[in-house]
Amino acid sequence: MKEIKTVYIAGRITGDPEYRAKFEQAQRTLEAAGFVVMSPAILPSEGFTYDDYMKVSSAMMDVCGAVYFLPDWKQSNGAMYEMGRAIATGKEIINQISVKGLESRCAAWKHTRHGKARA
């Protein structure tokens, strides 16, 4: 059976009025490359606290094998937290993806998993 690659999208949401379009474009690109995508941009834009959003987003990220970081991730406290969590849990980190026809190529940090943090 073919392995299904799952990926979570991380990037700036707070303060970006165009975040939904940005996440949707990334999702389409990742899906075209063969990933099953989890995106925090599908969550309601109001009604929950920041901590609630981070709990839900962390759960989404935890069930994925990889995390795709949008170019603006360093402008987001939440995405910076997600980077630390991704490294600590050994997630594959993808920082660029391109799709050419049916052929896709991901550029990850050496496309390897980061080792789990040791206390």
pLDDT digits (tens, 9 = 90+) for 61-97: 999 999 999 999 999 999 999 999 999 999 999 876 6
pLDDT of residue 67: 96
Angle at 38 between CA 35 and CA 39, to 5 degrees: 120
pLDDT in tens, 3-33: 779 999 999 999 999 999 999 999 999 999 9
- Residue 1: other Cβ atoms inside 10 A: 3
Mean pLDDT, the chain, as a whole number? 84
Would you state the pLDDT for residue 59? Answer: 97
Write the pLDDT tens digit of every residue in 34-61: 999 999 999 999 999 999 999 999 999 9
What CATH topology corresponds to 5-113? Rossmann fold (3.40.50)
Q: pTM score, two decimals?
A: 0.81
Res 3: pLDDT: 76
CB 59 within 8 A of CB 74: no
